[in-house]
Amino acid sequence: MEFASIILAAGKGSRMKSDLPKVMHEVGHAPMIDHVLKSAGEAGAARQIVVVGFGGEMVAAHVNGRAETVVQTELNGTGGAALEARAALAGFAGDAIVLYGDGPFVTPDTMRAVLAKRAEGFDVVAVGFRPDDPSGYGRMIANGDALSGIVEHKDCSAVQRDITLCNLGVIAAQAELLFELLDQVGNDNASGEYYLTDVIGLAHRAGKRCGVVECPAEEATSVNSRAQLAAAEAVFQARARRAAMEKGATLQAPETVFFALDTELGADVTIEPNVVFGPGVSVESGARIRAFSHLEGCRVAKGAIVGPYARLRPGADINAGGKVGNFVEIKNAVVGAGAKINHLSYVGDAEIGAGSNIGAGVIFCNYDGVFKHHSTLGERVFVGSNSALVSPVNIGDDALIGTGSVVIKDVPAGDLVLARAQQVNKPGRGKRLMDRLRARKK
């Protein structure tokens, strides 16, 4: 069944104490709105409409190309917000599912269940859940999966507050019917707002068949404060860890590994303790990420080893069997198959050929204070420890760079480079100098 998502994202979130629109706060290194767009996309949304308000230009620029945006000029409740999508969906014959930009955990499976319930003949379908503590949530007046109304907590009677089935806020109907019902919603309630949930009662009184789908309570996690943002991060990380292990990755200490929304791990990847994945990381089958490493915007190919204590920055591309060891930082550089950078080095804006070996303390001097410069090393190059390669330089296959060299010119294939000052020994001078200095210290 074709459907469109209507994602409500107009709120400021005053309790966040932030200049950012609420939906732009990050969970799993991605704005919350991205989580909702991703889930709706995976469920098969043909159209995605984001209703923006506070900070709308920022949100619109962020979702550009992935969703359409409409503006809610008056923040008058969820019903008013959803109604803003009417013009954008004029003539759309499919269903509309209303979602929330600050509720990042509604799954594609739940959305598919809603569509399946619609296909059974229910005109309007809402999503419910059963929290440990229902205080503050709207209650769903249901008989089995037949729904007659939703009452906001502040408007509930004492009897209604004993109901354990609570409203998630997600509602679906054929788009035209949804907007017809929203037109009838009033604001005669404790908040003076237009509640989206009132469409259930209106539909029921009009003889429409209303149904409910239940989802796990964690899908109801929403964010209105920094504390709730931290709680949402915990939910996301727990989910991401479970998903990684279910797909065949080994996490030696799962609770210490942190993922981003778009982290991709292949089968038989091993992740040691205290590893952080920023956005844009893919790790292929059989690779190992050792403890205390930080990865962002990079690719680690099959069988490669990274860490411990390594940092891969955006543009790092570690090919099959490559090794990146402790206290190595790599940025915008390709490390060829089987190449080794085992310790205490910085590689930036470079290409290192297959089978090359970069010794301890090697620095690629890629920045002149204004521009970045690129260096290329061929295959089987050996760079001795404590060398500096002043980019741009090109080093041919099988070249050998002597320890402590400062390389400022291209090196032909097979050459040996010795680029360091000549050593001079002064007999007895060292002891006399130190004696003189110690005497001055007294």
3-state secondary structure (DSSP) of residue 128: strand
Query: Tokens 């788009």 identify what position?
Result: 175
Shared domain check, 196 and 65: yes
Shared domain check, 141 and 54: yes
3-state secondary structure (DSSP) of residue 60: helix
Q: Given 3-state DSSP classes, what are the helix, strand and coil percentages for the chain, each rounded to the nearest 5?
A: 25, 30, 45
Q: What is the CATH number of the domain that holds 244?
A: 2.160.10.10
* Domain-located, residue 427: no
* Domain-located, residue 433: no
3-state secondary structure (DSSP) of residue 201: helix
Q: Give the pLDDT score at 315.
A: 98
Other beta carbons within 10 angstroms of residue 433's beta carbon come to 11
Strand partners, 382: 357, 400
Phi, psi (5° rounding) for residue 32?
Answer: -55, -35
Residue 59 near residue 50 (C-beta atoms within 8 A)? yes
Q: Give the pLDDT score at 12.
A: 84
Range of 100's domain? 3-220
Bond prior to 254 in cis (omega within 30° of 0): no
Last residue of a domain, one of 167, 199, 220: 220
Closest C-alpha among 369, 333, 365 to residue 352: 333
Residue 138 near residue 167 (C-beta atoms within 8 A)? yes
Closest C-alpha among 298, 304, 301 to residue 347: 298
Strand partners, 26: 31
Strand partners, 331: 348
Shared domain check, 302 and 206: no
* Domain-located, residue 205: yes
Shared domain check, 321 and 204: no
Residue 211 near residue 147 (C-beta atoms within 8 A)? yes
Q: Where are the alpha helices (DSSP H) in 18-55?
A: 32-43
* Domain-located, residue 164: yes
Q: Give the C-alpha separation, 141 to 155, whole Å.
A: 13
Shared domain check, 165 and 49: yes
Shared domain check, 352 and 274: yes
Other beta carbons within 10 angstroms of residue 307's beta carbon come to 25
Query: Tokens 């069997």 identify what position?
Result: 321
Residue 127 near residue 213 (C-beta atoms within 8 A)? yes
Catalytic positions, please? 343
H helix or E strand, kind and range, residue 334: strand 329-335
* List of residues 6+ apart from 248 with CB closer than 8 A: 266, 267, 268, 269
Q: Give the pLDDT score at 74.
A: 86
Q: What is the CATH number of the domain that holds 72?
A: 3.90.550.10
Q: Give the C-alpha separation, 310 to 88, whole Å.
A: 48
Q: Give the C-alpha separation, 10 to 52, whole Å.
A: 4
Q: Give the C-alpha separation, 426 to 324, whole Å.
A: 40
Structure tokens belonging to residue 141: 């007046």
* List of residues 6+ apart from 165 with CB closer than 8 A: 128, 129, 130, 139, 140, 142, 212, 214
Q: Give the C-alpha separation, 36 to 23, whole Å.
A: 10
CA dihedral 189, 193, 199, 200 (to 10 degrees): -50
Shared domain check, 240 and 207: no
Shared domain check, 248 and 176: no
Shared domain check, 329 and 292: yes
Shared domain check, 177 and 55: yes
Give pTM, 2 decimals.
Answer: 0.91
Shared domain check, 136 and 10: yes
Q: Give the C-alpha separation, 163 to 191, whole Å.
A: 21
Question: Cα dist. 63→33, 191, 254, 365 in Å?
Answer: 8, 31, 32, 37
Structure tokens belonging to residue 193: 């707002």
* Domain-located, residue 289: yes
* Domain-located, residue 424: no
H helix or E strand, kind and range, residue 179: helix 175-183
* Domain-located, residue 345: yes
Whole-number CA gyration radius for the chain: 30
Number of domains in the chain: 2
Q: Give the pLDDT score at 262.
A: 98
Query: Tokens 């109801």 identify what position?
Result: 220
Q: Give the pLDDT score at 151.
A: 87
Other beta carbons within 10 angstroms of residue 207's beta carbon come to 7
Phi, psi (5° rounding) for residue 126?
Answer: -120, 160
* Domain-located, residue 86: yes
Shared domain check, 184 and 234: no
Other beta carbons within 10 angstroms of residue 153's beta carbon come to 16
* List of residues 6+ apart from 85 with CB closer than 8 A: 6, 49, 51, 70, 96
Other beta carbons within 10 angstroms of residue 160's beta carbon come to 16
- pLDDT tens for the chain, 442 residues: list them: 799 999 999 988 889 999 999 999 999 999 999 999 999 999 999 999 999 999 999 999 999 999 999 999 888 889 999 999 999 999 999 999 999 999 999 999 999 999 999 999 999 999 999 999 988 899 999 988 899 888 888 888 889 999 999 999 999 999 999 999 999 999 887 778 898 989 999 999 999 999 999 999 999 999 999 999 999 999 999 999 999 999 999 999 999 999 999 999 999 999 999 999 999 999 999 999 999 999 999 999 999 999 999 999 999 999 999 999 999 999 999 999 999 999 999 999 999 999 999 999 999 999 999 999 999 999 999 999 999 999 999 999 999 999 999 999 999 999 999 998 888 999 999 999 999 999 998 7
